């Protein structure tokens, strides 16, 4: 999914509903500061001053996993109660050819 959001070609998606959701997310990711929505077809790469950043996070740190899996939901409950959390994003390449995207 990260590749689909960050590359201008977008790729092909078989599921129509997923394709619509991804298009909407791409417009958010590709918008420049001050724009309501972006157009991935007009640029070669995500704008440097974009308003939304997409980052990969490890499964252990995804708050929403507690909604569908049997696991500790302490952080999820804290966020739902109005508390703030801090997430640290570190890149761990699985292969030497993996590339970090900011």
CA-based end-to-end distance of the chain:
15
* Residues 61/87, Cβ–Cβ less than 8 Å: yes
Tokens encoding 78:
């804290």
Q: What is the 3-state secondary structure of 53-79?
A: CCCCCCHHHCCCHHHHCCCCCHHHHHH
- More confident: 61 or 17: 17
pLDDT at 9: 67
Residues 23-40 have pLDDT tens digits of 888 888 888 777 777 766
pLDDT at 82: 93
38 Cβ partners below 8 Å, 6+ apart?
A: 26, 27, 28, 29, 30, 31, 32, 47, 50
- More confident: 37 or 75: 75
| Predicted model pTM | 0.54
Q: Give, in degrees to the nearest 5, the angle at Cα 88 between 54 and 77.
A: 90
């Amino acid at each position: 999914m990260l590749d689909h959001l960050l590359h201008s070609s977008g790729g092909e998606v078989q599921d129509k509903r997923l394709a619509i959701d991804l298009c909407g997310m791409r417009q958010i990711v590709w918008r420049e500061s001050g724009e309501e929505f972006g157009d991935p077809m007009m640029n070669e790469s995500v704008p440097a001053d974009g308003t939304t950043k997409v980052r990969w996070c490890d499964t252990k740190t995804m708050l929403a996993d507690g909604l569908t899996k049997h696991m500790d939901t302490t952080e999820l409950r804290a966020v739902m109660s109005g508390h703030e959390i801090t997430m640290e994003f570190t890149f761990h390449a699985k292969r030497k050819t993996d590339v970090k995207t900011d």
